[in-house]
Structure 1
Amino acid sequence: MIELENVAYSYGGGALLTDMSLTLAPASFHFLTGPSGVGKTTFLKLCYGALRPTTGQLRLFDRDVMQMDREAVALSRRRIGVVHQNCQFLDHLSVAENIALPLVVAGLDVASEQDNLRELMSWVGLTGRADALPPELSGGERQRAALARAVIMSPDVILADEPTGNVDWEMSQRLLRLLVELNRMGKTIMIATHDLGLIRAAKQQVQARVLRISKRRLQLAGAGLWRD
């Protein structure tokens, strides 16, 4: 799915991440941990092609990112759903229209996807909020809408950046259950989080690897430098 081999990323003349090697295999489940500012969001951006490595090799679905043009990267990113840390929506569009935006961007017929959209909104518990505007949503509803938007294209990989950072424990558990269900459907999942309680709860439901960024390198939590 996504492979990093000795990848490094520098910003402003300094190394932010270095010597990163990882394979996100089909139907695998990973947590990515580390304190704020350590580079978790940057790592996720590398994984979905928003950033290109300074050195090393990054492959998206068996293609070297450095040999792909912008259009090829954009096509590959359709297979990757991203739940961003700060959910950004278009406030003049309804929740349903915001969730369907990836279909519009991809040039697909939204009208023909209405059954799928309704099923997806029911799955995340937002059926009754389809016509609401984003400012009317609670934090938990926004996160569930963000997850629905990330999976509307039925991606192979879902990357979630602190998806439970702005919700209470009960809602974080609901979001986790949705992500675990996606994994059981064969999706590859990576969640960046600093919430150890969330990780402990997940380990009771799914076999997950816990990775940690420390000293600019990727480690298996509780072990030394790890490579897949």
Structure 2
Amino acid sequence: MIELDNVAYSYGGGELLSGISFAMQPGSFHFLTGPSGSGKTTFLKLCYGALVPTSGHVRLFDRDVRTMSRDDVAMTRRRIGVVHQDVQFLDHLPVADNVALPLTVSGRAHLDELANLRELLGWVGLKARADALPPELSGGERQRAALARAVIMSPDVILADEPTGNVDWEMSQRLLKLLVELNRMGKTVMIASHDLGLIRAAKTQVQARVLRIANRQLHLAGADL
């Protein structure tokens, strides 16, 4: 699905990631850990084609990012849902319209899809907040709206960058449950997080592989996590 082959990425004259090889298998569940500034967000951006590696190859669904046009990348990213660390919404549009934006942009905002939107908002617990504006939402509600927007196109892969970083433990557990449910539905999930408590909680619910970025390289984390 997503494959990195001896990938390196340099930023500002220094190498941030080096010699990374990794293959994301269908239906797998991964955590990505590492200290702040280690390159977790950069790694995720490489995984959805927002960045091109300095060296090595990134393949998205068997296509090398280097050979893909911007339109090709945009079309491929419909198969990858991303929950960004810094959640951005259009503040003048209600929650339902913000979640539906990927449908609108792709020309799929017809009646069947809008019915799915209402069901999706119910699934993330935001049905009663469908008409609220983003500034009116709590941190947890914003993260759930971001997750709904990421999966509205029914992607094969979900990449979440610190999705529980700004919410309390109860809400982080709720968000984790939603991501685990998506994985059980066959979606491939990767969560970047430094929260070891969250990772330990996830490993009681799903077979999760834990990866760690350290010294510019990707390692399989120890079994003590």
Identical pairs, percent = 78
Secondary structure in structure 1 of the residue aligned to 2:120: helix
1:21 is aligned with what amino acid? S
Tell me which residue corresponds to 2:190.
Answer: 190
2:102 is aligned with what amino acid? P
Cα offsets for 1:149-171 (capped at 9, x unmatched): 00000000000000000000000
Tell me which residue corresponds to 1:145.
Answer: 145
Tell me which residue corresponds to 2:64.
Answer: 64
- Give 1:14 shift: 1.1
- Give 1:110 shift: 4.0
Cα distance in 1, alignment partners of residues 107 and 69 from structure 2: 20
CA-atom RMSD in angstroms: 0.9
Tell me which residue corresponds to 1:13.
Answer: 13
Instruction: Please list every run of 5 or more consecutive structure 1 residues that lacks an aligned counterpart in the other structure.
Output: 224-228
1:180 is aligned with what amino acid? V
The answer to whether the 8 Å contact 1:212/1:219 transfers is: yes
Cα distance in 2, alignment partners of residues 187 and 148 from structure 1: 14
Residue pairs, 1:66-215, within 5 angstroms: 66-215=66-215
1:34 is aligned with what amino acid? G
- Give 1:82 shift: 0.2
1:54 is aligned with what amino acid? T
Secondary structure in structure 2 of the residue aligned to 1:78: helix
- Give 1:147 shift: 0.2
Tell me which residue corresponds to 2:218.
Answer: 218
- Give 1:106 shift: 1.2
The answer to whether the 8 Å contact 1:100/1:110 transfers is: no
Cα distance in 1, alignment partners of residues 26 and 18 from structure 2: 25
Runs of 4+ in structure 1 deviating by more than 3 angstroms, as ranges, are none
1:100 is aligned with what amino acid? A
Report how many aligned residue pairs link the two structures.
223
Cα distance in 2, alignment partners of residues 6 and 146 from structure 1: 32
Tell me which residue corresponds to 2:26.
Answer: 26
Instruction: Please list every run of 5 or more consecutive structure 2 residues that lacks an aligned counterpart in the other structure.
Output: none
The answer to whether the 8 Å contact 2:100/2:109 transfers is: no
